Amino acid sequence: MDVELRRIRLPFAAPFRTALGVQHDRDVLLVSVGTGDSTGWGECVAMNEPIYTSEYVSGAHAVIRDVLLPLLSGTTVTALTLGRLLASIQGHRMAKAALEMALLDAELRSSQISLATFLGAARDRVEVGVALGIDRDAARLVETVRKYVDRGYRRVKLKIMPGWDIEPVATVRDAFGSDLALQVDGNRAYGPAEMPRLSALDAFGLAMIEQPFADLVTHASFARTIHTPICLDESITSTEATRLALSLGSCSIVNIKPGRVGGYLEARRIHDLCVARGVPVWCGGMFETGLGRAANLALAALPGFTMPSDISESSRYFERDITDPFVLAPDGTIGVPSGPGIGVAPDPDRLAEVTMSVERFTI
Ligand code: OSB
Ligand code: MG
């Protein structure tokens, strides 16, 4: 099997500010595998720096090259056997997920099956929302929200942090009324001492508060004091972590990101567990290129994904993506690709333009 590790740099259409810092561009590791009759694409969602989780793009690149590929060398690895072959390696889920996505894409392309069909999709369009970063002031945030509402988004997620929470949420709720589905994401920026302040968010009819704290126990005690549902993101690293979070009562909604949990197969297992427990799920985003976006749309089409996902249209992230752009329909949905595999491929000219380095291996 031929494996290519390619680093690309895509500038963001606008900087994205959160409790984690400001992002100006995306340094993305793409994995492609050639299996004789087809090529598959995987995207590693690890960010430029280890600020969301401990993984970051250069680390993921190194672990794939120096640790994961050597373990696969001489085997007849498939997407379904990958997990077992890499089971001795702790963590590095985003790195593993990128390899799995590339293998899945290659295998499904050869058998002419779409990822959506393979995963068990129940629909051909999915409801999506937009995630908005920390703005200069609440008045400007209202203008930003208006731009996206006018564009057709029906669900808005606001990033919050200490010093940027109650006021911007109150101002946006006031400007748009109760029709707008609104939720917030704290990215672990709060401590237990800030629970009373966060409880004031109950006044704004939010669909959920996403991961305000770092750990499961703090979320569980917060959940007992507020009415707004709690959703976990960073804490959901596996099916086992999800089981633990649900039994502790740490959340009542789950954000599933395939990269964070080690791949689309584990993402589906978490979905299945949540469906069995009656817990709604939605698909989170990591500023993916069109490749990861295509695969996330397939996942978000599963029946348990009953809340709008962080899968905005391509132009929200990049002036020019590496695939044909995904576009929002007036009803706030994006279509699920139906072609074999992930259903999209990079445009070779655009890919060449944004490529910083390429390494090739035969394993
Ligand atoms: O916390 O959901 C998050 C992006 C990078 C890292 C973490 C998060 C996010 C987002 C962006 O919220 C969502 C998107 O891709 O539109
Ligand atoms: Mg989040």
Q: Which atom of ligand 1 is nearest to the CA of 255?
A: 2
- CA-to-CA distance for 189 and 237, rounded, in angstroms? 18
More confident residue, 232 or 17: 232
- CA-to-CA distance for 257 and 240, rounded, in angstroms? 15
Residue nearest to atom 5 of ligand 1 (CA): 286
pTM over 0.75: yes
The CATH number that applies at residue 208 is 3.20.20.120
How far is Cα of residue 298 from the mean position of the Cα atoms in its chain? 13
Substitution candidate for ligand 1 out of 12, 16, 18, 48 with most atoms within 8 A of CB = 18
The CATH number that applies at residue 73 is 3.30.390.10
- CA-to-CA distance for 153 and 182, rounded, in angstroms? 11
3-class DSSP state of 216: helix
- CA-to-CA distance for 200 and 165, rounded, in angstroms? 10
Residue nearest to atom 9 of ligand 1 (CA): 286
Q: What is the pLDDT of residue 271?
A: 99
Q: Residue 34 domain-assigned? A: yes
State the Cα torsion 351-43-7-128 to the nearest 10°: 70
Substitution candidate for ligand 1 out of 153, 184, 287 with most atoms within 8 A of CB = 287
Mean pLDDT of 341-355: 98
Q: What is the pLDDT of residue 18?
A: 84
Report the share of the chain in percent with pLDDT over 90.
Answer: 98
Total tally of structural domains belonging to the chain: 2
What confidence tens digit (pLDDT) does each residue in 36-70 have? 889 999 999 999 999 999 999 999 999 999 999 99
What confidence tens digit (pLDDT) does each residue in 157-209 have? 999 999 999 999 999 999 999 999 999 999 999 999 999 999 999 999 999 99
Same domain, 208 and 240: yes
The string over 167-189, giving b where at least 16 C-beta atoms fall within 10 Å of a residue's C-beta and e elsewhere, is ebbebbbebbeeebbbbbbbbbb
Residues recognised as catalytic:
159, 257
Go through the chain and tell me how many residues it has.
363
Q: Is the CB of 133 under 6 A from ligand 1?
A: no
Q: Residue 342 domain-assigned? A: no
Same domain, 302 and 352: no
Same domain, 275 and 183: yes
Q: What is the pLDDT of residue 305?
A: 98
Contact 313, 297 (CB under 8 A): no
Q: What is the pLDDT of residue 211?
A: 98
On the question of pLDDT at 20 being above 90, the answer is: no
Token pair 């009415």: residue: 227
* Domain encompassing residue 248: 117-335
Find the angle CA(173)-CA(285)-CA(327) to the nearest 5 degrees.
80
Same domain, 127 and 59: no
Same domain, 246 and 135: yes
- Per-chain residues with Cβ under 5 A from ion ligand 2: 185, 210, 233
Q: Which atom of ligand 1 is nearest to the CA of 187?
A: 1
On the question of pLDDT at 277 being above 90, the answer is: yes
What confidence tens digit (pLDDT) does each residue in 116-142 have? 999 999 999 999 999 999 999 999 999
Same domain, 329 and 222: yes
Please, where are the H alpha helices in 76-185? 79-85, 93-110, 115-119, 138-151, 166-176
